[in-house]
């Protein structure tokens, strides 16, 4: 089976994008044996890697991208590993298109879509059911979340 990994990531001079995974063909998560990706489109910062899996290997595995500085050896990692499971066992090739997942920046958490489009978006349903807003001063609010959970008796086993 042939796997083609594709990801867009902007690097600077001296950096290379690498792929490591649970398969031996991806280095078995040994970063020294990780595979170097190829920059195929510098305008779009598109990196690719083609891997051939021998025989009838079941294409279910974990993998991760990381950037390595060729001069210092410093590495930049994604925030989590990925999992691949081929939906069709009869396929002889798969193309995997990914996007880089950075670790969340704590300073920008409140500007994420989870907050701006849901939690802090003043909607009647949120105000009435789950959230209360209390204005303190100009541009200053206290937001109280009402969380519903099941209560379990401490002696329950």
> Could you tell me the two tokens for 54?
């021998």
Q: What is the pLDDT of residue 61?
A: 87
The ranges of the chain with pLDDT < 50 are 125-126
Q: Yes or no: say if 84 and 59 are a contact pair by the CB < 8 Å rule.
A: yes
CA distances for 102 relative to 14, 40, 64, 99, 131, angstroms: 20, 22, 12, 10, 29
> Could you tell me the two tokens for 101?
């997942």
Q: Residue ranges per domain, the chain?
A: 2-99, 106-145
Q: What is the pLDDT of residue 12?
A: 84
Using one digit for the tens of pLDDT, what is the confidence trace for 105-143? 666 666 666 666 666 665 554 455 555 666 777 777 676
Placement of tokens 């031996």 in the chain: 24
Instruction: Return the CATH architecture of domain 2-99.
Output: Sandwich (2.60)
């Amino acid at each position: 089976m042939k796997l083609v990994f594709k990801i867009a990531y902007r690097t600077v001079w001296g950096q290379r994008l690498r792929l490591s995974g649970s398969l031996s063909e991806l280095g078995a998560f040994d970063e020294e044996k990780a595979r170097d990706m190829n920059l195929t489109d510098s305008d779009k910062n598109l990196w690719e890697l083609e891997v051939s899996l021998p025989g009838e290997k079941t294409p279910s595995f974990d993998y991760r991208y990381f950037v390595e500085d060729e001069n210092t050896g410093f590495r930049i990692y994604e925030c989590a590993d990925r999992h691949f499971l081929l939906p069709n066992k009869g396929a002889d090739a798969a193309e995997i298109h990914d996007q880089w997942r950075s670790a969340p920046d704590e300073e920008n958490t409140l500007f994420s879509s989870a907050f701006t489009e849901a939690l802090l978006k003043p909607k009647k349903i949120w105000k009435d059911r789950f959230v209360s807003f209390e204005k303190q001063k100009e541009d200053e609010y206290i937001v109280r979340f009402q969380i519903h959970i099941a209560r379990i008796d401490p002696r329950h086993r």
